[in-house]
């Protein structure tokens, strides 16, 4: 984690923070250091206050057979990369600390008197004045990062083999359908419908158990709170079958499907959705570890949208650990670290949802278009194809329309449809009178304008394609 420090008029204060899980592969450390540093420094600069200095914290528990001092030495190159990356942006790192197994070391202090080689013990949790004040104020302790990660890491139990077998079986049938352009939309609908059913199942089980909490977090504190949360996770695991989990995990690999699932971010949908994304992340076992990037990113997004930045950062960091190039997770992680308001993203997703509902409503009314009585206007130059999409009319229809436009003005009522074919009226297009050549035939330019009216329907379809691509690329 990097913490920005500001010093104005001799009064220091903490600024923004940027946090990211430490990649297991040391080859990724250089790019992670640059990404984390640029996100913090440039984010602070956009908010109008470039930090004067930075403090770096490298926190990791020892692995099996590893001591805390070994962790400190193993992470030393990463600390140096962070210091170099900050220096390249003219922001010095005044302190870099490694925290492991209840002790901390300084990478900047060379004195063995204040920073012994065996590290300095940290104070026992809950014994500080700040901890006492927080308890008195009624603040709740929600557990450590290790306990948060336990709710999101893949299974390592005997059930993991059964889940892996289900993923293998479902992938053989589902992946070819996702890759096929014609069946991809059907798969997306099936995936979202299944997710809805599982969410309702989770919500019903919560109501039956008498548990409250819209964000899916139990309203208890400390160790009892995490114990209750783990019990809730076990209950969700029992409600989700292996084949259902496999279908949802693989279906969410389609980015358009994932973006539509991200719309379940608030209200009564947020709690069950967050529980579902956690449960799916736990099912990405064995060789399907990279598939966890999608449910972890969704879990981080819903947690951030619900106001839980701690779980959001952890889930997004784990998503980047599963797939460092996952763009959706990178964007959300940077936005969360820079302290942006998630409401701007919620507005975009709400707009997408409403726009899609409007498009579906309009699409359902398309079959009624041919029943509209024809009138002598430029719309006569268009027809409706068999699939309901507008297309060019026949050549004879175009000639008839041209002859009607060349007729002299009628002496009848000005309000009649045929009195003034060239006049503008609501619901008509292409009213500009085409120029003619010397022999009286329409010029190529006029024919092109007539084609532009037909192109209106074509542009609509092309615009819809761009819209879908935009969702998928995010």
pLDDT (0 to 100) of residue 407: 44
Phi, psi (5° rounding) for residue 306? -90, 0
DSSP result, 96-163: EEEEETTEEEESS---TTTS-TT-EEPPPTT-SHHHHHHHHTTPPP---HHHHHHTTSPP-STHHHHH
Q: How much is the pLDDT for 148?
A: 79
Residue-range domains of the chain with CATH:
2-123 (3.40.140), 143-323 (no CATH), 377-408+438-474 (no CATH)
Instruction: Identify which has the larger pLDDT, 343 or 414.
Output: 343
Residue bearing tokens 């726009």: 355
Looking up tokens 């190159």, which residue turns up? 77
Residue 320 has pLDDT above 70, yes or no: yes
- CA–CA distances in Å: residue 233 to residues 160, 230, 259: 15, 5, 24
What is the model's pLDDT at position 114?
82
Answer yes or no: is pLDDT of 1 > 80: yes
Q: Over the stretch 377-400, which tens digit does the pLDDT of each residue have? A: 333 332 333 333 333 333 333 333
Q: Is 414 helix (H, G, I), strand (E, B) or coil?
A: coil
| pLDDT at position 98 | 92
Closest Cα to residue 242, out of 166, 191, 317, 189? 166
Q: Are strands 93-100 and 103-106 parallel, antiparallel or unpaired?
A: antiparallel
Predicted model pTM: 0.58
**Secondary structure of residue 273 in the 3-state scheme:** helix
State residue 21's pLDDT score: 78
Question: What's the whole-number average pLDDT of the chain?
Answer: 74
Q: Is the pLDDT of residue 435 over 60?
A: no
Q: Give 14's strand partners.
A: 5
CA triple 411-412-414, angle to 5 deg = 100
The residue-averaged pLDDT of 22-43 equals 86
Can you name the residues that pair with 382 across neighbouring β-strands?
Answer: 392
Answer whether residue 193 shows pLDDT above 80. yes
SS3 state of residue 222: helix
Angle at 237 between CA 233 and CA 239, to 5 degrees: 115
Task: Name the nearest CA neighbour of 74 among 6, 8, 25.
Answer: 25
- Residues near 1 by beta carbon (within 8 Å), at least 6 away in sequence: 17, 18, 19, 20, 56, 57, 59
pLDDT at residue number 393: 39
* Greatest alpha-carbon span in the chain: 108
For the chain, give the number of residues. Answer: 474
């Amino acid at each position: 984690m990097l913490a920005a420090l500001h010093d104005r008029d001799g009064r220091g204060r903490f600024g923004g923070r940027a946090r990211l899980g430490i990649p297991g592969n040391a080859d990724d450390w250089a790019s992670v250091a640059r990404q984390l540093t640029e996100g913090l420094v440039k984010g602070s600069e956009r908010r109008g206050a470039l930090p004067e200095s930075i403090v770096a914290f490298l926190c990791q528990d020892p692995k099996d057979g590893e001591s805390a001092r070994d962790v400190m030495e193993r992470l030393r190159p990463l600390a140096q990369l962070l210091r170099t990356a900050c220096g390249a942006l003219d922001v010095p790192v005044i302190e870099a600390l490694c925290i492991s197994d209840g002790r901390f070391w300084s990478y900047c202090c060379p004195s063995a008197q204040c920073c012994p080689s065996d590290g300095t013990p940290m104070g026992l949790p809950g014994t500080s004045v700040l901890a006492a004040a927080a308890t008195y104020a009624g603040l709740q302790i929600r557990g450590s990062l290790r306990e948060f990660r336990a709710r999101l890491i893949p299974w390592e139990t005997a059930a993991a083999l059964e889940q892996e077998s289900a993923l293998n079986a479902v992938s053989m049938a589902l992946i070819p359908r996702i890759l096929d352009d014609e069946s991809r939309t059907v798969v997306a609908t099936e995936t979202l419908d299944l997710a809805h059913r599982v969410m309702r199942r989770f919500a019903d089980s919560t109501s039956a158990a008498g548990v409250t909490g819209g964000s899916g977090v139990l309203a208890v504190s400390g160790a009892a709170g995490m114990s209750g949360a783990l019990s809730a996770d076990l209950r969700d695991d029992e409600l989700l079958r292996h084949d259902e989990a496999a279908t949802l995990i693989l279906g969410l690999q389609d980015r358009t499907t994932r973006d539509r699932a991200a719309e379940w971010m608030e209200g009564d949908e947020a709690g069950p959705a967050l529980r579902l994304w956690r449960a799916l992340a736990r099912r990405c076992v064995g060789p399907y570890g990279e598939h966890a990037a999608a449910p972890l990113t969704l879990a981080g997004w819903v947690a951030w949208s619900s106001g839980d930045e701690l779980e959001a950062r952890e889930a997004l960091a784990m998503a980047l650990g599963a797939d460092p190039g996952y763009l959706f997770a990178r964007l959300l992680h940077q936005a969360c670290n820079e302290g942006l308001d998630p409401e701007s993203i919620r507005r975009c997703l709400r707009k997408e949802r409403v726009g899609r509902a409007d498009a579906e409503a309009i699409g359902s009314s398309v079959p009624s278009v041919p029943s509209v009585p024809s009138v002598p206007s430029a719309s006569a130059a268009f027809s409706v194809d068999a699939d309901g999409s507008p297309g060019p009319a026949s050549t004879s229809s175009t000639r008839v329309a041209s002859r009607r436009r060349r007729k002299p003005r009628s002496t009848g009522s000005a309000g009649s449809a045929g009195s003034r074919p060239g006049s503008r009226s609501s619901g008509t297009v292409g009213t500009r009178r085409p120029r003619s050549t010397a022999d009286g035939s329409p010029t190529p330019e006029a024919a092109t304008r007539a084609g532009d009216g037909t192109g209106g329907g074509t542009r609509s379809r092309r615009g819809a394609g761009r819209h879908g691509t935009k969702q998928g690329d995010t």
